[in-house]
Amino acid sequence: MTGLLRTRAVGRALPRLDGPLKVTGQAPYAYEQPVDHPAYLHPVQAVIARGRVQSVDTGAAEALDGVVAVITHLNAPRLADDSDREYRVLQSDEVAHYGQIIGGVVADTPQIARQAAGMVGVCYDIRPHDVELRADRSDLYAPEALNAGYPTDTERGDVEAALFSAAVTIDHTYGTPMEHNNPMEPHTTVAVWDADSGRMTLYDSNQGAYPIRTTLAPVFGIEPDRLRVVSPYVGGAFGCKGYPKAHHVLVGLAAWMVPGRPVKLALTRQQMFDLVGYRTPTIQRVRLGADSDGRLVAIAHDVVEQTARLKEFAEQTATPTRTMYAAPHRRTTHRLAALDVAVPTWMRAPGVTPGMFAGEVAMDEMAIACGLDPIEFRLRNEPRVDPDTGLPYSSRNLAACLRSGARRFGWSERAPIPRARREDGWLVGIGVAASTYPGHVLPGSVAVIHFGADRCYRVRIAAADIGTGTWTALTQIAADALDCPTDDIRLEIGDTDLPVATVEGGSTGISCWGSAIVAAARAFRAEHGTEPAPGARARAEMPTNRDLDRFAMHAYGAQFAQVRVDADTGEIRVSRLLGVFAVGRIVNPLTARSQLVGGMTMGLSMALFERSVVDPRFGNVVNRDFAEYHVATNADVEDVEATWIDECDPHYNPMGAKGIGEIGIVGTAAAIVNAVHHATGIRVRQLPVTPDKLLP
For 311-377, the three-class secondary structure string (H helix, E strand, C coil) is CCCCCCCCHHHHCCCCCCEEEEEEEEEEECCCCCCCCCCCCHHHHHHHHHHHHHHHHHHHCCCHHHH
What is the side-by-side order of every strand in the sheet holding 51-57? 94-95, 51-57, 121-126
Exposed, middle or buried, 276 (CB in 10 Å: 0-12/13-18/19+)? buried
Cα(93)–Cα(114) distance, rounded to whole angstroms? 22
| 3-state SS, one letter per residue, for 513-582 | HHHHHHHHHHHHHHHHCCCCCCCCEEEEECCCCHHHHCCECEEEEEEEEEEEEECCCCCEEEEEEEEEEE
Q: From the centroid of its chain, how far is CA 655?
A: 23
Q: Are 27 and 21 in contact (CB under 8 A)?
A: yes
Beta-ladder partners of 422: 427
Closest CA relative to residue 641, chosen from 694, 578, 552? 578
Which phi and psi (to 5°) does residue 118 adopt? Answer: -75, -10
**Residue 619 near residue 95, CB atoms below 8 Å:** no
Angle made by CA atoms 118, 119, 121, in degrees to the nearest 5: 105
C-alpha distances out from residue 489 to 477, 517, 558, 587, 613, Å: 10, 12, 36, 16, 48
Residue 198 — φ and ψ, nearest 5°?
Answer: 70, 30
Give CA–CA dist 584/103, Å, rounded: 48
Catalytic residue among 185, 305, 610, 662: 662
Dihedral of the alpha carbons of 472, 542, 390, 151, in degrees to the nearest 10: 90
Position 427, amino acid: L
Q: Is 279 helix (H, G, I), strand (E, B) or coil?
A: strand
Q: Are strands 329-339 and 101-107 parallel, antiparallel or unpaired?
A: unpaired
Q: What is the DSSP string of 500-516?
A: P---S-TT-HHHHHHHH
Helix, strand, coil shares of the chain, percent, nearest 5, are 30, 25, 45
Counted residue by residue, the chain has a size of 696
The CA-based angle 209-215-216, given to 5 degrees, is: 85
Q: Does residue 286 sit in helix, strand or coil?
A: strand
Q: For residue 144, indicate whether it is catalytic.
A: no
Beta-carbon count within 10 A of 24 CB: 8
Report residue 625 CA to chain centroid gap: 20
Q: First and final CA of the chain: distance in angstroms?
A: 58
Q: At what angle do helices 470-482 and 509-528 cross, to 10 degrees?
A: 30
Active site (catalytic) residues: 662
